[in-house]
Structure 1
Amino acid sequence: MSQLLGRQDCIESLRKDLVDLQGAILDVFSRTGPVRFSSWKFPDKLSCNLDMVALLEQYDFVDGEDAFNQHSHIVLLELVIDR
């Protein structure tokens, strides 16, 4: 399993999953209004106030940066949990 950590295809898949999740969340919010709970990943922020576009830009695959890619992979997994 550790050989998958930081791979480009895994990171791209997680990013697509987050975009899909965020779309579903925004659909629900359009009907119910935002849910005001603390973010699991960023407890100092409300989950409805996370800037997912900025987070997805920050945690992307970078060719030749294995340590950063592994970190991005973990952060993206945590964001899936947070959503």
Structure 2
Amino acid sequence: MAHLLGHPGCMESLQADLRDLQAAITDVSSRAGPVRFPSWKFPDKVSCELDLAALLERYSYTENDPEFTQHSHVVLLELVIDR
């Protein structure tokens, strides 16, 4: 599985999953109110206040930088846990 770390298809799939998770969270929060807990990934921030769109843009596939791309892939996996 290590050969898939940084694979653009895997990263696109993770980003789509994160968008879906965020949409579900937004839907539930609109009915029940936001849940104000620290983010698992960014403990200095409240999880409901994370700008997921900005994070997805920052941590995306970069063809010219495989190390950063692999790091971004791990961050996307951690964001799934955070959500």
Instruction: Give the 4+ runs in structure 1 shifted more than 4 A.
Output: none
List gaps (5 residues or longer) in structure 1.
Answer: none
TM-score, length basis structure 2 = 0.98
One-letter amino acid of the structure 1 residue matched with residue 42 of structure 2: F
Over the residues paired in the alignment, what is the CA RMSD in angstroms?
Answer: 0.5
Question: Match of 1:18?
Answer: 18
AA matched with 2:63: D
Aligned length: 83
Instruction: Report 1 or 2 for greater relative contact order, CA contacts < 8 Å, sequence distance ≥ 6.
Output: 1
Matching of residue 31 in structure 1 with residue 31 in structure 2:
yes
Give the alignment's TM-score, normalised by structure 1.
0.98
List per-residue Cα deviations over 1:31-81 (Å, max 9, x = no partner). Answer: 001000000000000000000011011001011311011000000000000
The letter for the 2-side match of 1:22 is Q
| Unaligned 5+ runs, structure 2 | none
Following superposition, the deviation at residue 82 of structure 1 comes to: 0.1
Corresponding position of 1:50 = 50
- In structure 2, give the amino acid aligned to 1:68: F
Partner of 2:41 in structure 1?
A: 41
